[in-house]
Amino acid sequence: MTIPASGLPQGLQIDTLAVREGLPATPWGENSEALFLTSSFCHPNAATAAARFSGEEEGFVYSRFSNPTVMMMERRLAALEGTEACIATSSGMAAILLLLMGLLKSGDHVVCSRSVFGSTIKLLQAEFGKFGVSSSFVSQTDLGEWRAALRPETRLLLAESPTNPLTEVCDIAALAELAHGHGALLAVDNCFATPALQRPAAFGADLIIHSGTKYLDGQGRVLAGALCGSKALIDKVLTPVLRSAGMSLSPFNAWVVLKGLETLSIRMQAQCARALELARWLEAQPQVSRVHYPGLPSHPQHELALRQMGGQGGAVIAFELAAGQGAVAQRSAAFACIDATRLMSITANLGDTKTTITHPASTSHGRLTEEQRQAAGISQGLIRIAVGLEDARDLQADLARMLAAV
C-alpha cells in the first residue's frame, strides 16, 4: 500500500487548500473528514506488518506516529505554510521540545530572541542547559546583537514574530540569511501571525513552530502543536524523535484543528480588522499612554510588519495606562480596568473567537523579578487584549467602560 495524495489539481490557492487538502475520503464517501479514533491499525498478514513497521512499505501502524486524521491536519498545515512537510505534536511546547531534541546535542549553542514565549526560554535554559546545550538571549529587533552572539557551535536561531505581549516584529529574511551564512538553521514561532498572514518559509525560515492551541483551533478548545519544514528535516530528523519520545497529537485534537484551519483565513481577517479599529481608538484615549500594535504607524517596525504579514497587524494589542505613579499604583489601575469588563474573558489564552484580556506582569510574566520585567518592557500598567469576533462596537463600548473605571 502507498498512502495516496489528496488528488487535488495542482496550483490551488491557499484558501482552497485550507478547506480541501488532506487525504482522499474513505470508500464511504464522507464529506467532512473522518476522525480515526484508533490507537493501532491492522495488517492483512505478518509480512505486511513487518514491512510497514520497518518503513519498507507505507501504511498506518500506530497512532503515536501515524494516524490518518493527524496526517490530514499535517498535510493541510504544510500546504498553508508552503512547506513540504509538517509534523503534529501534543502542544506548542511539545513542538519546541521536539525541535530542540531533534536538532541539538550536548555542546551545541542556540541564539534566541529574549522576547519569545516564557516557557520556551525556560525549556532552553533550565532543561536543555542541564544536557549541555547553551543559549544566548538577544534583542528581538537588533540584528547586530544576533550576529555578535553567534559562536562556532551555534546550530539554531530561534525567533517569534510578533511577540507576546509587546508585538515586537523581527526581520525573518535577515535572520535567515544570518543563520544560513553561519551553517545554522532558523526556526520561527508563527503562533501570533499564522500562515493566514505570514509564511516564514517564504522569507527563508527552515522550521515553523505552531501552537495549534491558539488561532489554528481558533475557539479555545484543544491543545495542539506542529512543526513545518522540509521533508528532509521533518521525515528524517524529527519523525524518528517523535516515534521514540511520543509527544504525539491525539486524533481528536488533530480533527478539531483540521476543521479550524478551514476558517483560519476569514477569522484572521475579521479579527485583524476589529483589532486595528480598537487599536486606533485606544491610541486616541487620554487614559492610555501607549498602544503596541503592528498595524499602527506608531509601531517601531510598522512597515516591516505589514510587509511580512500581508498588510495586517494581527489580532493582539497591548496598551499602557497613563494612570498611576509607581508599580503599585499602576497595578491597581490595571486591575480596576480589567475588572470593569463585562464582555471580555479574563484569561491568558489567545487566538479565541472570544476576546481575552490579561495583565502580563502578574500572569505570563509573573515569575520574573520587577527588574527583569522592566528590562523586558512589561510594566504594571500594561494590559493585553487578544481580539476575538465580537462586534467591534460592543468591544469599544466595553473598553470605554473599563477606562472610565481607572
Minimal distance, residue 191 CB to ligand PLP, in Å: 4
Minimum CB–partner distance for residue 96 and ligand PLP (Å): 7
DSSP state of 62: B
| CA 114 – CA 141 distance, rounded (Å) | 10
Select the residue interacting with ligand PLP from 109, 214, 259, 359 (CB under 6 A). 214
The span from the CA of 138 to the CA of 146, in Å, is 6
226/399 with CB nearer ligand PLP: 226
Q: Which is nearer to ligand PLP, 191 or 201 (CB)?
A: 191
**Of 208-216, 323-331, 370-378, 387-395, which segment contacts ligand PLP by CB under 6 A?**
208-216
Rounded Cα–Cα distance for residues 390 and 338 (Å): 17
Q: In what order do the strands lie in the sheet with 85-89?
A: 85-89, 225-229, 207-211, 185-189, 154-160, 109-113, 134-138
215: contact with ligand PLP by CB under 6 A: no
Which C-beta is closer to ligand PLP: that of 83 or that of 120? 120
**Residue showing the smallest CB distance to ligand PLP in the complex:** 92
Bond into 162 cis (ω within 30): yes
Q: Quote the least distance from Cβ 92 to ligand PLP, whole Å.
A: 2
> Should residue 208 be labelled a site residue for ligand PLP when binding is judged by CB under 6 A?
no
For position 223 contacting ligand PLP by CB under 6 A, the verdict is yes
Pick the closer one to ligand PLP by CB: 69 or 213: 213
Nearer to ligand PLP, 86 or 402 (CB): 86
Number of residues that bind ligand PLP (CB under 6 A): 13
Cβ atoms within 10 A of the Cβ of 234, count?
22
Residue 253 in contact with ligand PLP, rule: CB under 6 A: no
Quick one: which of 60, 71, 78, 92 contacts ligand PLP (CB under 6 A)? 92
Q: Does residue number 160 form part of the binding site for ligand PLP (CB under 6 A)?
A: yes
List the one residue out of 268, 265, 292, 281 whose CA is nearest residue 393: 281
- Which region, judged by CB under 6 A, interacts with ligand PLP, from 206-214, 260-268, 329-337, 365-373? 206-214
- Candidate residues 17, 23, 70, 93; the one interacting with ligand PLP per rule CB under 6 A: 93
Q: Minimum Å distance from CB 84 to ligand PLP? A: 23
> Shortest distance, CB of residue 281 to ligand PLP, whole angstroms?
25
Among 141, 164, 253, 355, binds ligand PLP (CB under 6 A): 164
DSSP string, 162-228: S-TTT-----HHHHHHHHHHTT-EEEEE-TTTHHHH--GGGGT-SEEEEETTTTTT-SS----EEEE
Report the distance separating Cα 86 and Cα 249, nearest Å. 12
Closest among 375, 383, 367, 369 to 332, alpha carbons compared: 383
141 neighbors 168 (Cβ within 8 angstroms):
yes
Q: Rounded to the nearest whole angstrom, what is the least distance from the CB of residue 348 to ligand PLP in the complex?
A: 9
Contact between 135 and ligand PLP by CB under 6 A: the answer reads no
Three cell numbers, residue 197: 498572514
Which residue in the set 33, 81, 168, 189 belongs to the binding site for ligand PLP (CB under 6 A)? 189
Grid cell in block for residue 361: 506582569
Q: What whole-number distance in Å separates Cα of residue 211 and Cα of residue 372?
A: 25
Binding segment for ligand PLP (CB under 6 A), chosen from 88-96, 121-129, 268-276, 318-326, is 88-96
User: Minimal distance in Å, beta carbon 192 to ligand PLP?
Assistant: 6
Which three cell numbers, joined as nine digits, stand for 245?
519520545
- Report the residue number, 189 or 206, with the smaller CB distance to ligand PLP: 189
Give the contacts of 343 (CB within 8 A, at least 6 positions apart).
Answer: 355, 390, 394, 395, 398
Q: How far is it, in rounded angstroms, from Cα 134 to Cα 149?
A: 12
Q: Which residues bind ligand PLP (CB under 6 A)?
A: 91-93, 117, 160, 164, 189, 191, 211, 213-214, 223, 225
